Structure 1
């Protein structure tokens, strides 16, 4: 983190970046007609020089951002996983004597990250090339991740589930319930979670000589039209594992349209924290990623980084996922 000393000026940044002061002003304020590379270079130089960085006593404030779709105006707080994690993270921060500021997703590309007055940041689902992470690293701010970062550095800490183990548990459960053709509803996000689950599924299929069937997820596909071709074709899947929270509802909508009964004709598991799945008829089997435990661990790690400069151990702090078996993944004669 930048130490005491004179605050750098726009002129200092201009000299270091070899541009005019007008270019610096446009780059930091998001104005003017600058190329993306120039704007990014100026902002990174400003952050490296400590422009706008907090100097003096700590703010006793932590920041939290979901950056997997940074720059898009999507309301992640409406997703059960994120809402539960936010609540738990706020309580954990307060228990350590810190406030918690949650940033909206659409602020991903703004100069805000070069000047935000926080002592450290929690980044959720940080993707490859994350501009927010780049700005925070340039400032020297402590960062802890929910989900493995794309390019972890020595000393980085992230809190995550064992997605290989959790995926295999789901697939083994479906196979034990009689499934022979299991589809994965996935492939939308660029975050580590999606890739880890999809890769684990592919390995599981390869070990059994099965051909993987990945059905692309679309958050706007409420009727589940992605399954129309799959459910209408010969050799349709007799089970689906949904990686994303809305996926289970999409599969159920598509199955109803095609006259496919759950669980008699189709077994279903969805990774979700939404309690509505337990109230559905039939009740839907879910995988919980235990967001409350992830939040408590992540906040604890971040406070360690802020107050002592390191958190032990570095690397992944693993929180177990949990399979909540309900009627949707059991043949009628099994319950």
Structure 2
């Protein structure tokens, strides 16, 4: 009897091609065909659609502390674990392995959230030992992925931050961020909020492959326009830049972002830690078989001959001639369009714990 691995190929609306087990699992799983259903008419049918399942995150805190020298924040909140956007290159995918889940399709279909995030955050901010520092949302998974429309976990978190006059920043690919302008706008007016939109391509077809469930490039630029018009400091991130896939669009993305009202821009070179190396390779071979080998070669040229180098100071930008050329092009574009504005200094002086003054006066 012949038993062969079954290759299902890309799923419509999903990014990863497979659902291989995480790196901590002792056993692997492979979908196989033993040949017994050779005459089954269902063999030629497309695989069933994968539905998104939302579970409960039971963590007792919502504020995460960061010690990485590569990122400009000390504290962050990620309302969701996993991300429905389906970006195959997402550097957060390997975190699903800690839950015994795959960094592939599980990451974008089996999500977790904290229904009581607002209450937990209120308790953390009310702690007398808490020292306020800007809180970044969207540093790991997107706070405005599709399920946020119904769950409103991110909105509830923003409401608490506004209640405490606590400064925050947001990074997202979701145009849904404009829904919360009634919170973000007033906080920005007080110098307590800033937003980054991730714009990786202007090509709708490429976006459908790279980020299947994220807002379209047009809607993201519309969001930049709306935020900027409302007085919110708004930047764009071209993250990631992938050699031979979207690097040719650097200047176009910067020009479109400037026209939409962005006041600053940044980028991150493609990162492929842990399982993402294999997921990205599978994705390339499925969607860009004509250039997969070339893309991987260029990526290695930015990482000292490897697919990834996690060294501090290098992992965001890479090194070597290819990485240097990308950095130069981006830098020239940013200076030419005056998208080199400094990150806004968010005001920490107004932080207050609601009711604390009244409570003290009763003592």
TM-score range normalised by the length of the shorter chain? 0.3 to 0.5
Q: If the length of structure 1 is used for normalisation, what is the TM-score? A: 0.34
Q: If the length of structure 2 is used for normalisation, what is the TM-score? A: 0.32
Identify the structure with the greater helix proportion. Answer: 1
> Of the two, which has the highest radius of gyration?
1
